Structure 1
Amino acid sequence: MAISQEMSYRPLLAETGERALALVQHVKPAMFVLDYRLGTMNGIHLYDCLHAQPGLEAIPAIILSASVELHQDEIDQRQVIGIAKPFELDEFLLAIDKALSLHQE
């Protein structure tokens, strides 16, 4: 993955929302990157579930969606960054920097 090579990020992948919820029981990530469309729950619902976990409340998140404008209210309410798919790598890297810096303030 170009992101991990270029910026030394180490992504952890979860194919489903349920898998992500199980994964955070063992690993505390620096950031969540969530797709809006998941199998049994959407990315906003997963974000809410993740942020309800003790110790995960302040972890920043990026929501990826083919139609960010349709979900903009939900995204804004949660102070996450929305990125429309498809996106350029530079746009994604800027969003990562922005999300991390917003949560360090």
Structure 2
Amino acid sequence: MTRQEIESQLLTLSLSDKAEMVQSLTKTLNMSGKGITKTPGVCGGTACIAGTRIAVWLLVEAQQLGISEAQLLQDYSHITAADLVNAWSYADAYSEEIAAAIRVNNEV
């Protein structure tokens, strides 16, 4: 199968399937992408970069406020660009969940 054939098939996937594919590919590239996890009792069970307490909604909100990826990587030195790719993919696939988490955390 050619790259173009694979790309064509990938474009037909749902957002959540695309996010899972990005996570799988990131892991196989050894780019230190940790993936996204939800752990009861950690950050209220919201989606976080695996092995951290860095919530996806927090990264999305920071990006909405104009904070660059470079600044995020500097502020959170233990995550990688691959982790941000995973976070953005997750946020795209589960945009309603992320928007609700941002709303809830701004009410506190």
Q: TM-score, normalised by structure 1?
A: 0.31
The structure carrying a bigger strand percent of its residues is 1
Higher relative contact order (CA 8 A, sep 6+): 2
Query: If you compute each CA radius of gyration, which structure gives the higher value, 1 or 2?
Result: 2
TM-score by length of 2: 0.30
